Structure 1
């Protein structure tokens, strides 16, 4: 009987891990709650140091699931519940943030939302997000 050497075991483990990574997170075909609204809006600060970016808004019809993160334009960010509406989630991206590799192939107006349902993290793609009119904050002076 032949013995398996350490190098063979290492190669086998490496190959198995590569196949697992390549599959990535699986997208769900449906989610347990419907989206009431989903859109993004660019924003610009009134001062140079304030920067610019994009906010994504996702509103659910009910609170049966908890949204966690959003993958959009080669970046990922946490979603936060809007203070006055427990069904509205907001994700914020700053323009000067370094982009990272995400496990999804998305067009410019698509996003993937990770959500928690029955203590499991799942993923759902939202296609063709609507872009709202940019929000340009006015310049304000410290004395005003």
Structure 2
């Protein structure tokens, strides 16, 4: 039996990934920005937008990591544009993320301008936040 994946199997896997991504986003009332990033306006924490990464395999190569980071940063810039121009975001005070990725990659998020908050050592999750003003200053510049 061959270990290679057939085009039909890859197509099914890709469809399942798409459904999984859309389902997780839908459950939180999320909005997709690009292939990497989505957000939701928090009902639980008024004034906050939660940002999320779609489940994706980040290539271990330097080129793959650069491509991922470029797409992530483009998504943050698009979110900043929406926060700046769309009146539905007038009450947003913070952009935040709470996840295992924040826990594992906290230094990277600090380099991107986020401040680290709570850490749950048991669940291995952490909070990263940035004020609206700082987020718009960092990611909302003229293109």
TM-score range, shorter chain: under 0.3
Whichever structure has more helix as a proportion of its residues is 2
The TM-score with structure 2 as length reference comes to 0.25
Structure ID, larger Rg: 1
Larger RCO (CA under 8 A, 6+ residues apart): 1
The structure where strand makes up a greater share of residues is: 1
